[in-house]
Structure 1
Amino acid sequence: MAISMPFRDAVTTARYEAALTVTQPLRVVQRGRHSRRALARQAGRRGDGRRLPTLDGLRGVAALVVLVHHAFLSQPALAAPYLDPRTADDGGVVWWLTWTPLHLVWAGTEAVFVFFVLSGLVLTLPAMTGRLRLRAYYAARLLRLYPPVWAAVALAVGVALLVPRVWPEGASWWMVAMNQPVTPRGVAADLTLLVAPGAVNHVLWSLQWEMVFSLLLPVFVVVAVSRRVAWSHKIAAALAAVGAAAVFDSVAVSALAMFLLGSLLASGRAHVDYAAAVIEGQRRPTLCWALVGLLAAVLLSAYWLVNAPGWDLPADHPLVALTRALQALGACLVVAIAWYCPGARRVLSSRVAQWLGARSFSLYLVHLPLVSATVLLLGGTPPLWAVLLISVPAALLATALFHRVIEQPSHRLARRAAARLAAGPVRAGSITR
């Protein structure tokens, strides 16, 4: 059964529910569980700006994928395709782990894409449901981000002093390039997140754009809610920006365009509600969700699938640019699946996923220095199983301690600061619906 989906910002909730009533009279109206309001409740979407459990779970899974990604990059054969796509062996284990959707098991870059879309969504949603007081928001955001970052830099420096970053011949090029000796300039860049962070703790490169987006959130909200341009056109423009960023080698444009995609998912959640209701209204919704999940996996793997034949495509090739845009679309689909798919919600609401989700920021910040130190202590070129066996438990233990000692206190401090600044009357520095 084919149902066309309207993409106009002026379309109201009443039109969506009316469309559902006409097109799905038995499964939607009689069963009464696929309405927009019911789906919103099932998805765990709150109207008060609080956290969304299933999206927390997705964030935790993505952080774990980044950890596995960096452990895998300790292997020269697995790191080589990131430097030159023509270097992967033909038909062996490395080929299958690199050029097929199996890559998603350790797809750290794609996991960061998911992080960007998630941040855009969860930071924009509160502004869509009420008043966002900018002074309170900025204070809370800075206190949530900077103290854990400073502690993570201190940890990375300490680990580097204990285990000097001196790499033997034959070590993974990625480990050598991304784990250079500590310098004062690198420490300053990582502490401020202003100019080229990531010299001491490489993962902080993404926090620079997280900070930029956080500071520019009012602009993103205005763009997302504006009805002068159709929602679908804004989605297309953001995807085009991701592709153009690949051509012009602009990390800034690529990252901010993905944050914008998350903001657009928030402002256009009625469209997403409708699409989810259509899927749930099918005779086999589980199969439909599985197909959507397969599509998301293919889209996220687009860059690797295109390079699988061994083509010598430069980074600015239009086909490579297209794959980056498709990967961004795949990241949006992954977020939507986590938000609405019943099976995904069950998995992401599990104890393990929620534990990881609550500590995902800590895991993201602390894991790489420990992975690098593990590789160095094992001689610089250890087998993958040894790296995983030691670094993963060490990272999870460090995550638990870091979350308790650093992240949780910073969250409490952020909440107190926000509450104090939000206690006064609303002034001009606020965003309202």
Structure 2
Amino acid sequence: MNPSSGRLASLDGVRGVASVVVVLYHVSLLARPFATGRISEPAWDIATETPLKLLFAGTEAVQVFFVLSGLVVALPLLRGGASWPGFFAARFVRLYLPVWGALLFAAALILLIPRDQASVTTGEWIANANATSVDPLHLLSEATLTPVSYTLVNTLWSLRWELIFTLLLPVAVLLARLLRRWAWPIAALMSVVMVAGRVAGVDAAVYLPAFFIGTLIAVRLDSLRGWAAERSRPWQWGILTGVSAFLLVASWLSRPFVESSSTLGQALWGLSGVGAAGLIVVAIGSPLARRLLEVRPILWLGKVSFSLYLVHAPILATLAFSFGDARWWLVGIVGVPLSLVVAAAFFQLVERPSHGLARRVGRAVQLRSETVRSWAVSRRGERARSASSDGLPHAAPEPTDG
């Protein structure tokens, strides 16, 4: 933790690692049709059904993002460091401006570098989840973050859940405060809800509990640190790290034995949120994890992680349509470093200015709300003083004839 800012630097590192995992995941989606059912399928099985899957467990990494958001977004509000009007104003600016920038970036790529559907594999991620043309109405729809699926910037589906949780945050913070004493049993209950939600196919029950577990970690952060300080032996953290990583990708590790679409396979996938929460606990409490996550390159990745998350899918899609997804390896070799470079530029040109604007808007709205509240309080005080200084009894109003 940075003592001067109160920022949990290791969590920035987690965010950076998770963003790279998502990028590699999308490269793996390009490779998948050329591995399954072919001579290279054994290599694909080794990559996806062993701990190597942790390197590109993209959907599971999004669960890590959700737990992180529930923690870091709620923490200032739990500590009384922000007002609700100021928070919402700043949060919407910080969320929407980079999203709009990414959509314009993606639209520009599509218009400048035409995409031929015949150059990619039909029925796969590249063909199904990435637009080949720009429809202004569709662009505006995605800019609201209200659709369920997205094709201009495919990763925006998770930002929709970020928006939903932001709107629900007052309830989440209130519940976290009320249930603070029972935070860990409630977190266990949320884990059960995530598993049941995955089995039942209810996305809200899969994703929103992950956010709330993060909020529960935030409300018990001090006690969590105290608990962690009593566990200084590396093997203790090694076990928690291993168990959390296993839960994160349990549905993949079990595939040699369990059909992924079966009830058990879906239940195992539901445990990914539990694994994500465990990894966040490790990042907060383990001295070794903090040292690894706080090295400069990882922290830099954390700084540009949101930008990387927003720009990499349009870049990979553009390259895949240009090279053909059969050359997925070339897309990865070019696309991953190019995404990092573009993310750095996007951070400087779009995301960082949005942070500054969000702070200014948040302060202005907070100041305005405080001014209105003070005026309302003073007006009530003036009315009370006026009534008490009259000195005469006030008759109750007569009922009107009806």
Q: TM-score scaled to structure 1, two decimals?
A: 0.80
Query: For residue 411 of structure 1, what is the amino acid of its counterpart?
Result: H
Q: Which residue of 2 aligns with 1:217?
A: 169
1:305, 1:164 → 2: CA distance? 39
1:294, 1:415 → 2: CA distance? 39
Q: Which residue of 1 aligns with 2:320?
A: 375
Secondary structure at the counterpart of residue 74 of structure 2: helix
Quickly say closer, same or farther: Cα 1:301–1:313, change in 2 above 3 A. closer
Q: Answer whether contact 1:78 1:98 (CA < 8 A) is retained.
A: no
1:175 matched to 2:126? The reply is yes
C-alpha displacement of 1:288:
2.0
Match of 1:65 among 11, 14, 21: 21
Considering fraction of residues, name the structure with more helix.
Answer: 2
Quickly say closer, same or farther: Cα 1:302–1:68, change in 2 above 3 A. same
Q: Answer whether contact 1:242 1:325 (CA < 8 A) is retained.
A: yes
Q: Answer whether contact 2:115 2:132 (CA < 8 A) is retained.
A: yes
Q: Which residue of 2 aligns with 1:255?
A: 207
Quickly say closer, same or farther: Cα 1:110–1:79, change in 2 above 3 A. farther
Query: For residue 301 of structure 1, what is the amino acid of its counterpart?
Result: V
CA deviation digits over 1:176-222, x for unaligned, max 9?
11113333443122100012241211100000010111121111101
Q: Answer whether contact 1:53 1:349 (CA < 8 A) is retained.
A: yes
Query: For residue 187 of structure 1, what is the amino acid of its counterpart?
Result: L
CA deviation digits over 1:358-389, x for unaligned, max 9?
111110000001011111221231042x2221
1:409 matched to 2:332? The reply is no
Equivalence map 1:11-410=2 (5 Å) = 43-44=1-2, 50-77=6-33, 92-168=42-118, 171=121, 173-182=124-133, 183-227=135-179, 230-280=182-232, 285-309=233-257, 311-314=258-261, 317=263, 319-384=264-329, 386-410=330-354
Quickly say closer, same or farther: Cα 1:133–1:69, change in 2 above 3 A. same
CA deviation digits over 1:376-433, x for unaligned, max 9?
221231042x22210011101111111111111111101111122233538879xxxx
C-alpha displacement of 1:327:
1.3
C-alpha displacement of 1:112:
0.4
Q: Answer whether contact 1:163 1:376 (CA < 8 A) is retained.
A: no
Aligned residues: 371
1:426, 1:237 → 2: CA distance? 42
Which one is further off, 398-407 or 238-247? 238-247
Q: Which residue of 2 aligns with 1:24?
A: none
Quickly say closer, same or farther: Cα 1:383–1:420, change in 2 above 3 A. closer
1:216, 1:339 → 2: CA distance? 25
1:388, 1:231 → 2: CA distance? 42
1:228, 1:54 → 2: CA distance? 24
1:200, 1:247 → 2: CA distance? 29
Secondary structure at the counterpart of residue 306 of structure 2: helix
Quickly say closer, same or farther: Cα 1:350–1:393, change in 2 above 3 A. same
1:78, 1:357 → 2: CA distance? 32
Secondary structure at the counterpart of residue 254 of structure 2: helix
Quickly say closer, same or farther: Cα 1:139–1:103, change in 2 above 3 A. same
2:190, 2:279 → 1: CA distance? 17
Quickly say closer, same or farther: Cα 1:198–1:170, change in 2 above 3 A. closer
Which segments of 5 or more consecutive residues in structure 1 lack a partner in the other structure? 1-42, 81-86
1:151, 1:126 → 2: CA distance? 27
Query: For residue 79 of structure 2, what is the amino acid of its counterpart?
Result: T
CA deviation digits over 1:161-190, x for unaligned, max 9?
223332337627111111133334431221
1:131, 1:389 → 2: CA distance? 44
C-alpha displacement of 1:245:
1.5
Q: Answer whether contact 2:70 2:211 (CA < 8 A) is retained.
A: yes
Secondary structure at the counterpart of residue 210 of structure 1: helix
Q: TM-score scaled to structure 2, two decimals?
A: 0.85
2:322, 2:14 → 1: CA distance? 32
The structure whose Rg is larger is: 2
RMSD: 2.5
C-alpha displacement of 1:244:
1.8
C-alpha displacement of 1:273:
2.4
Q: Answer whether contact 2:245 2:275 (CA < 8 A) is retained.
A: yes
Q: Answer whether contact 1:88 1:94 (CA < 8 A) is retained.
A: no
C-alpha displacement of 1:242:
0.8
1:428, 1:216 → 2: CA distance? 23
**Percent of residue pairs identical:** 35
1:381, 1:428 → 2: CA distance? 62
Q: Answer whether contact 2:197 2:270 (CA < 8 A) is retained.
A: no
